[in-house]
Amino acid sequence: MKIEKLNENKLKVIFSSKELEENNISIHSFLANSKESRKFFLAILNIANEDLNFRLNTSQITYDTISFSNKYFVIIIKKVHADAPISSNNVFYKFNNIDDLFEFCDTIKNALSSIEFDSTLYQYDCDTNKNSSVYFLKFDFSNLDISSINKILAVISEFKNFIKFSKLALSHFEEFSTAIIKNSAIQSL
């Protein structure tokens, strides 16, 4: 594994699928953000903290993963301040089980009943046997004014399972996930 500090707010990490296997992580569980992959990711951040003085303090992080033939991976990790604006029209939230998803949807429906926005529900299978799935909700902000977007972000920012995909990662995600409810998913649940 190679960890390189690009600047005060950005890291580049390069590792192989063999290193994933050595940490008992399959490629599918790594991409699905499994418990094992989170542990591996935290180990990377600890190394960066100790060896490269890459301190998170109160910053949140975003990351983009690039895979080369599922043999080599590059992760770009960026510090983001909690009040930084979201630059994409789409915001994703991840849920490890259906109960958490329903609870989230109930909270959002109650808090944001006056705003019309679009959302899509995706299922991502964590392993090839499709015995374990995680769920993703995509909020689409493309047709909303800034005031509505800020109201939505104020409500959903309380939840810690926010994910921001790069264009490449989003393309990969859409290829390997299944859209279960394509329009108004939150309102439908």
Q: Encoding tokens for residue 87?
A: 């630059």
pLDDT band, residue 118 (cuts 50/70/90) = confident
Sequence spans of domains, the chain: 2-80, 90-188
**Confidence band, pLDDT 50/70/90 cuts, at residue 2:** very high
Give the whole-angstrom CA distance, residue 111 versus residue 166: 28
State how far Cα 88 lies from the chain centre. Answer: 13
Question: In terms of pLDDT, which residue wins out, 54 or 64?
Answer: 54
Would you state the structure tokens that stand for residue 183, as one six-digit string?
Answer: 């329009």
More confident of the two residues 87 and 162:
162
Q: How far apart are CA 35 and CA 155, in angstroms?
A: 26
Query: CB under 8 Å to 129, separation ≥6 — which residues?
Result: none
pLDDT class of 87 with cuts at 50, 70, 90: low
Least confident of 39-48, 68-77, 155-164: 155-164
Average pLDDT, the chain: 79
Q: What is the mean pLDDT of residues 173-187?
A: 85
CATH number for the segment(s) 90-188:
3.30.70.1950
Instruction: Determine the average pLDDT of the residues in 139-145.
Output: 79
- Considering only CA atoms, which of 121, 179, 133 is closest in space to residue 28? 133
pLDDT digits (tens, 9 = 90+) for 26-47: 777 776 667 777 788 888 888 9
pLDDT exceeds cutoff 60 at 85 = no
